[in-house]
Amino acid sequence: MKKLDKINNFYNDDKVIDACSIFGMMDTSGKCFSGKDIIKAIANMHDRGNGLGGGFAVYGLYPQYADFYAFHIMYFNHESRARLETYLEEHFYMLRAEEVPTNPTPNILKPPLVWRYFLKVRGGENSEQRQQDDYVVEKVMDINTRAKDAFVFSSGKNMAVFKGVGYPEEIAEYFCLEQYEGYLWTAHGRFPTNTPGWWGGAHPFNILDWTVVHNGEISSYGINRRYLEQFGYNCTMQTDTEVVAYAVDLLARKHGFPMEIIAKILAAPLWSEISRLPEKKQKMFRTLRQVYGSLLLNGPFTVIIAHQGEMVGLTDRIRLRPLVVGTKDSMLYLSSEESAIRLVCPHLDDARIPMGGEPVIGSLQNPLNSRKTAIQDPQSKTGEK
Amino acid sequence: MKTYLPPKFIIERDQYRCTQCQACVSQCSFDANYYDAEDDEVRSREENCVGCHRCVVFCPTNAITVRENPSSYRRNESWTHEAIEDIIKQSETGGMLLTGMGTDKGYPIFWDHLLLNASQVTNPSIDPLREPMELTTYLGQKPDMVKLTSDSTDIETEITNQIKLDIPIMLTAMSYGAISLNTQESLARAATEAGTLWNTGEGGLHPSLRKYANNMVAQVASGRFGVHSEYLNMARVVEIKIGQGAKPGIGGHLPGEKVSLDVSATRMIPQGTDALSPAPQHDIYSIEDLSQLIYALKEATNYTKPISVKIAAVHNSAAIASGMVRAGADIIVLDGLRGSTGATPKIIRDNVGIPIELALAAVDERLRKEGIRNKASIVVAGGIRNSGDVTKAIALGADAVYIGTAALIALGCHVCQQCHTGKCAWGICTTNVGLTKRINPNIGTRRLTNLLNSWSLEIKDMLGGMGINAIESLRGNRLHLRGVGLSDTELKILGVRAAGS
């Protein structure tokens, strides 16, 4: 069995500690755009990272394969690829397999092989979405903890994560991201303090179509992790980000909460704030905090959580890490620094700093400035190029 | 029979300072000081001295020093003073040796081998003077998940009654009869003022304390003293006492001399009769019986009160606790080896049970492994000495702690271990009317609320240092603990890494 924690957390610390730059941009009308702007924006925050990790998540990327799980897998050699492909053939119906195009980049050293596969659950046509998703989660965990020299770093539909060791602008160049288009992009530049850097350990962190980019150190990690273990999540990567991703998966997919409520669990209102709410809300938020207290994320953090059709920015409840929000027409920008937003969009309609624990949500269901940009059915929109 | 026991303490009186005022004579309830009228001089009977320091504190001229008798036996690692003197006592009385308080043996105190974390550079510490810092804790069963209505504006899940604690420190079970009414009133008032709970112990509720019932845990023990429907329904929590850390597997015996008219009325037994608590609850010989009693009490209180079950920490605590949770307990209380009592056979107190730290770590881990940790809150008792112990207990996995000895020390107790004699010179563990007046409930309440307040300030400071601003983010968060001077096995049981790793 492969020891992921040994790879990602080389010195076996409590967890991997890193700080970062994060950026997210979404066209809430569902229009797709290239990676040019986000690469420029994240490169502007170069000094917030140290070259040991950069990555991007893109949504609306594979409209022609929108019903297929798009697995992106890194390998150390072709033998491990051959082995894993046999495994994939066994467990999935494979429509297409191809090497992810790359572009030699001077500072990207010893890159792994990166392949992508468009998969369906074998015999899954008749089963419910949640069962198929559970199956995919199980297989991803299985591969990532057992398969030698192979690691699934993206497993959602119509989206992908591209990440590796290097500055984010170098990773973008390496994976030719300027050529891709999506309606929602997030990006991350990493500054780890206790890991030599490993391709799988860069952000965004992904499970199904959920991605998380994260800046911060979660002091409640120990209990968040123990709580999630009760629900069968194995935190093999030993990073805060992994905990956020699993918490969101549990709360959104399994317990059925909308993002507004999830934000109020991860960054719960103070008891004194709850006591000032109207009675019905008071009862609801008190109960949520009583039951999900172990998922309260304590300590400094900013996260951008994304999934199909939605992007959410959230800070800890006393906002110990930066988050700036910018809007322009139907575009929503989230960034560690305002300068990065202004660089790609100098004339914003609005720029502001949200309150600690206040979620900023961009959604295709609820587009910004909908009067200006009339929106069609968001589902069909996401598929357009 | 001439006793072969030497005096335990030497009372030294500075004759230059002593004014022969006889305060020490009137203060000593053990007759260790007396006035010799013929010589007009205050003298001591040192063989009676228990080292409670009542005379030292109340001597107006600070003339008295009490210290351990320095005369020694021939050095022997096996036959210590204590071993020799215990045999002398038994050969002179023919009975079991009784004692009070928790064990004074040198068993490892794991709190002193655990160290807390603090934030540096990669995350900021939080200043509780400037930022909110939350200690609020809710005890009781929590569901696996919450279901919202389809529009996400209300909850469908009905959550059982949760008990709010402003600080995660409760005042443990001490019965009226064992302790004085004034002492119990001090505890009850302090708990009410501090937003926490006090516990009746197994002696029922005196009518004068009914006004503090909203912060009360009503105990139901094997003797069933003072248990009636109204008593159960007045309380916030009902606690079934199975065992006690100071005397696991042993019942209780309140001697008839302590059963005054008031005590007899509260306990609902005839005046002057011995109050005997059987060793087991005679309706609980197995886990399914416990479940029946839990549900009998839930029925009796119409499912409005969480039911707590208290056990002594023993070898199989983890398995027992898991059974208790499955039997329907909303709160489980673990009382450790160092837990205290008003009276216990010394041999039991000093040899039975396991340290609370290990029991807590094992129980919390087991309940999590079985996915039922949310079904019950864990409260630990037995040897919590300061806010550092409290904080470490919470990091190990406790929801809250009970304090007993620490609360009594705040009231004046000097841990002289004479609780079983009923002569407590500080007026705490006695029903002697002259002595009980020594506790003034107004002052007692203030001393206790001061103690709770200072601990709560200290806990907030430690939390802030760790970069945490709510107690639930520390609960069970063992990454904030490191062990020093512990074996690999102990670290493994505690689920804690060695310092430096």
pLDDT 10s digits, A310-357? 999 999 999 999 999 999 999 999 999 999 999 999 999 999 999 999
Residue B310 gets which letter from DSSP? E
- Mapped onto helix, strand or coil, the DSSP state of residue B4 is coil
Rounded distance between C-alpha atoms, residue A42 and residue A44, angstroms: 5
Domain boundaries along the sequence of chain B: 9-95, 137-471
SS (H, E, C) chain A: CCCHHHHHCCCCCCCECEEEEEEEEEECCCCCEECHHHHHHHHCCHHHCCCCCEEEEEECCCHHHCCCEEEEEEECCHHHHHHHHHHHHHHEEEEEEEECCCCCCCCCCCCCEEEEEEEEECCCCCCCHHHHHHHHHHHHHHHHHHCCCEEEEECCECEEEEEECCCHHHHHHHCCHHHCEECEEEEEEEEECCCCCCHHHCCCEEECCEEEEEEECCCCHHHHHHHHHCCCCCCCCCEHHHHHHHHHHHHHHHCCCCHHHHHHHHCCCCHHHHCCCCHHHHHHHHHHHHHHHHHCCCCCEEEEEEECCEEEEEECCCCCCCCEEEEECCEEEEECCHHHHHHHCCCCCEEECCCCCCCEEEECCCCCCCCCCCCCCHHHHHCCC
Looking only at the bridges linking them, the beta strands covering B216-220 and B237-241 are parallel
Burial degree of A134 (CB within 10 A; 0-12, 13-18, 19+)? middle
Residues in B touching A259 (Cβ below 8 Å) = none
Among A26, A150, A28, smallest CA distance to A88 is for A150
Alpha-carbon distance B144 to nearest alpha carbon in chain A (angstroms):
8
Residues in A touching B159 (Cβ below 8 Å) = 287, 290-291
DSSP secondary structure of B190-233: HHHHHT--EE-GGG---GGGGGGGGGEEEEE-TT-TT--HHHHH
Residue A380 within any structural domain of the chain = no
At B160, the amino acid letter reads: T
**Which of A281, A296, A300 is opposite residue B472, by nearest beta carbon?**
A296
Alpha-carbon distance B467 to nearest alpha carbon in chain A (angstroms):
5
The domain in which residue A234 lies consists of 4-372
Rounded distance between C-alpha atoms, residue A143 and residue A139, angstroms: 6
A223 with B473: Cβ contact below 8 A: yes
Q: State how far the alpha carbon of A221 is from the alpha carbons of A210, A226, A323, A366, in Å.
A: 20, 8, 21, 33
Of all helices (H) and strands (E), which one includes residue B312? strand B307-312
Residues in A touching B155 (Cβ below 8 Å) = 283-284, 287-288
Question: What six digits make up the tokens of B10?
Answer: 């030497």
Give the full edge-to-edge strand order of the sheet including B497-498: B114-116, B481-483, B497-498
Q: Are A188 and A304 contacting, i.e. CB atoms less than 8 angstroms apart? A: no
Query: Phi and psi for A64 in degrees, rounded to 5?
Result: -70, -20
CA B279-B280-B285 angle, to 5 degrees, is: 155
Is the pLDDT reported for residue A187 higher than 90?
yes
A318 with B469: Cβ contact below 8 A: yes
Among A348, A379, A350, smallest CA distance to A365 is for A379
Residue B278 gets which letter from DSSP? P
A14 with B497: Cβ contact below 8 A: yes
Residue A171's CATH number: 3.60.20.10
pLDDT at A379: 45
Q: Are A375 and A381 contacting, i.e. CB atoms less than 8 angstroms apart? A: yes
Q: Are B204 and B176 contacting, i.e. CB atoms less than 8 angstroms apart? A: yes
Alpha-carbon distance A239 to nearest alpha carbon in chain B (angstroms):
13
**Which of A217, A254, A292 is opposite residue B122, by nearest beta carbon?**
A217
Is the pLDDT reported for residue A10 higher than 90?
no
Rounded distance between C-alpha atoms, residue A58 and residue A355, angstroms: 27
Residues in A touching B119 (Cβ below 8 Å) = 219, 299
Alpha-carbon distance A254 to nearest alpha carbon in chain B (angstroms):
10
Q: Are B400 and B360 contacting, i.e. CB atoms less than 8 angstroms apart? A: no
- Mapped onto helix, strand or coil, the DSSP state of residue B463 is helix
**CB-based contacts of A354, cutoff 8 Å, min separation 6:** A313, A315, A319, A323, A325, A360
Helices assigned H by DSSP within B245-308 = 261-267, 287-300
Considering only A280-294, A359-373, B43-57, B412-426, which range has the smallest mean pLDDT? A359-373
A222 with B478: Cβ contact below 8 A: yes
Residue A129 pLDDT grade (very low, low, confident, very high; cuts 50, 70, 90): confident
**Which of B124, B143, B479 is opposite residue A291, by nearest beta carbon?**
B143
CATH of domain B9-95: 3.30.70.20
Rounded distance between C-alpha atoms, residue B287 and residue A255, angstroms: 33
Of all helices (H) and strands (E), which one includes residue B159? none
B152 with A217: Cβ contact below 8 A: no
**CB-based contacts of B268, cutoff 8 Å, min separation 6:** B204, B225, B226, B228
Among B375, B379, B372, smallest CA distance to B394 is for B379
Each of the 501 residues of chain B gets a pLDDT tens digit; together they read 899 999 999 999 999 999 999 999 999 999 999 999 999 999 999 999 999 999 999 999 999 999 999 998 999 999 999 999 999 999 999 999 999 999 999 999 999 999 999 999 888 899 999 999 999 999 999 999 999 998 888 999 988 889 999 999 999 999 999 999 999 999 999 999 999 999 999 999 999 999 999 999 999 999 999 999 999 999 999 999 999 999 999 988 888 888 889 999 999 999 999 889 999 999 999 999 999 999 999 999 999 999 999 999 999 999 999 999 999 999 999 999 999 999 999 999 999 999 999 999 999 999 999 999 999 999 999 999 999 999 999 999 999 999 999 999 999 999 999 999 999 999 999 999 999 999 999 999 999 999 999 999 999 999 999 999 999 999 999 999 999 999 999 999 999 999 998
Residue A208, number of CB atoms within 10 A of its CB: 22
Residue among B120, B477, B480 with most chain A CBs within 10 A, to mutate:
B477
> How many structural domains are present in chain A?
1
Residue B6 gets which letter from DSSP? P
Residue B484 half-sphere exposure toward CB, CA atoms < 13 A:
7
pLDDT at A130: 87
Residues in B touching A298 (Cβ below 8 Å) = 467-470, 473
Q: Are B275 and B253 contacting, i.e. CB atoms less than 8 angstroms apart? A: yes
CATH of B137-471, one of 3.20.20.70, 3.30.9.10, 1.20.1630.10, 3.90.400.10: 3.20.20.70
Residue A274 within any structural domain of the chain = yes
Strands annotated E in B398-471? 400-403
**Which of B371, B470, B501 is opposite residue A298, by nearest beta carbon?**
B470
Strands annotated E in B7-107? 9-13, 33-36, 41-44, 64-68, 98-99
Q: From chain B, which residues contact A within 8 Å (Cβ)?
A: 119, 122-124, 126, 131-132, 134, 136, 138, 142-143, 145-148, 152-155, 157, 159, 162, 368, 371, 373-374, 466-470, 472-480, 497, 501
pTM of this structure: 0.92
Residue with tokens 């429907």: B229
**Which of A19, A221, A287 is opposite residue B146, by nearest beta carbon?**
A287
How many helices and strands in chain B, by DSSP H and E?
A: 15, 21
Residue with tokens 């304390």: B209
Residue A377 within any structural domain of the chain = no
Among B415, B419, B398, smallest CA distance to B406 is for B415
Residue A270 within any structural domain of the chain = yes
Question: What six digits make up the tokens of A283?
Answer: 């009862």
Among A13, A15, A16, A19, smallest CA distance to A302 is for A19
Residue among B126, B131, B145 with most chain A CBs within 10 A, to mutate:
B145
Rounded distance between C-alpha atoms, residue B445 and residue B183, angstroms: 9
pLDDT at B455: 98
Residue B62 gets which letter from DSSP? -
Q: Does B9-95 match B137-471 in CATH topology?
A: no
Q: Are B142 and A291 contacting, i.e. CB atoms less than 8 angstroms apart? A: yes
**Packing angle between helix B356-369 and helix B387-396, nearest 10 degrees?**
30
Computed over every residue of chain A, the mean pLDDT equals 88
